[in-house]
Amino acid sequence: MASRWRAGGGPRRGGGPGGLTAAAWAAVTLLLLAVVLTGCAAGDGVRIEESASAAEDTPAEASPLPAATPSPARETEADAPTPPSPGATRETDVPTAGAPVSPPGASGEVEIVSLLRADRAVSQAVKRRLEPCEAEEWPITFSFGELTGGPAEDLVVNVSACADGKGVGSYVYREEAQRWVNVFADEEPTVFAEVAEGALRVHTQIYLDTDPTCCPSGEDVATYVWRDDGFAEQDRTYQEYPTATQEGRPDGEG
């Protein structure tokens, strides 16, 4: 291969910087041009590679997750029904005529409605009223008391009309040999019986011919005591109700 001589003598290898020949420089230039043209043809220009650390710092987009299958609703502790406390009073614990009751000292329970329906001393007119007025509200009230001197307290029952609440029958039952026996019955209109000071007190409203249904003239009050296996009348009084002209005036004069 021929050598070039430069001024001052001595051979010179290559024709460019660093000793590269002109042909070598031409090849390098063409290679770089090809790389640039290839990047432009792709439409993105020259691609810059990221380092591994840079890729880790870039937040990734969250891809949508498939919808979860709905699960049955669970009852939380707040929504769960709270069990009643041991000392709580329930509605079924309140004595009613439609449920069995236990008079103090009695040998067992007694069903008042069944007792009235089976009693021959109760008229058919009263028995037809032995139905709830509405829901579980029976037209029957009852109380216990020591009237006849038996081992168990006696049972006093009052039956009223659903329409106006006025009494239609009052009865007293005494326990004998584990059976409840009728020892008193009064079916006068507006009658009401109660235990008062160890005696049976019976109230009956009195209507005159001119009295409206709302306003009786007074009431008859009879007191009975237990004698010789039966009730005997001890006292009877009449209490006059104040009239409209008498109310608010102590002398009752016009």
Span of 74-78, 222-226, 230-234, 248-252 with lowest mean pLDDT: 74-78
31: region left, alpha or beta (phi > 0 left; psi from -120 to 50 alpha): alpha
Is 72 within a domain?
no
Is 127 within a domain?
yes
Is 51 within a domain?
no
Residue 246 — pLDDT band, cuts 50, 70, 90?
Answer: low
Is 33 within a domain?
no
Burial of 169 (0-12, 13-18, 19+ CB in 10 A): buried
Give pLDDT tens digits for 165-213.
Answer: 999 999 999 999 999 999 999 999 999 999 999 999 999 999 999 999 8
Mean pLDDT of 227-232: 94
Is 220 within a domain?
yes
Q: How far apart are CA 176 and CA 172, in angstroms?
A: 13
Is 196 within a domain?
yes
pLDDT number for residue 10: 46
User: Residue 99 pLDDT more than 60?
Assistant: yes
19 contacts 13 by C-beta, under 8 angstroms: yes
Question: Position 113: which residue type?
Answer: V
**C-alpha separations of 130 from 48, 121, 194 in Å:** 100, 14, 20
Higher-confidence position of 81 and 136:
136
Span of 134-138, 160-164, 206-210, 218-222 with lowest mean pLDDT: 134-138
Is 138 within a domain?
yes
pLDDT number for residue 23: 65
Q: Pull the structure tokens for residue 21.
A: 């020949």
Q: Pull the structure tokens for residue 111.
A: 């069903």
Number of domains the chain contains:
1
Name the residue range of residue 211's domain.
95-240
Q: Pull the structure tokens for residue 122.
A: 């109760």
Q: Pull the structure tokens for residue 205.
A: 């409203």
Give pLDDT tens digits for 103-123.
Answer: 999 999 999 999 999 999 999
pLDDT number for residue 136: 80
pLDDT number for residue 33: 62
Q: In three state form, how does the secondary structure of the chain look?
A: CCCEECCCCCEECCCCHHHCCHHHHHHHHHHHHHHHHHHHHCCCCCCCCCCHHHHHHCCCCCCCCCCCCCCCCCCCCCCCCCCCCCCCCCHHHCCCCCCCECCCCCCCCECHHHHHHHCCCCCHHHHCCCCCCECCECCEEEEEECCCCCCCCEEEEEEECCCCCCEEEEEEEEEECCEEEEEEEECCCCEEEEEECCEEEEEEEECCCCCCCCCCCEEEEEEEEEECCEEEEEEEEEEECCCCCCCCCCCCCC
Q: How many CB atoms lie within 10 A of CB 247?
A: 9
Q: Is the pTM of this model over 0.75?
A: no
User: Residue 250 pLDDT more than 60?
Assistant: no
Is 46 within a domain?
no
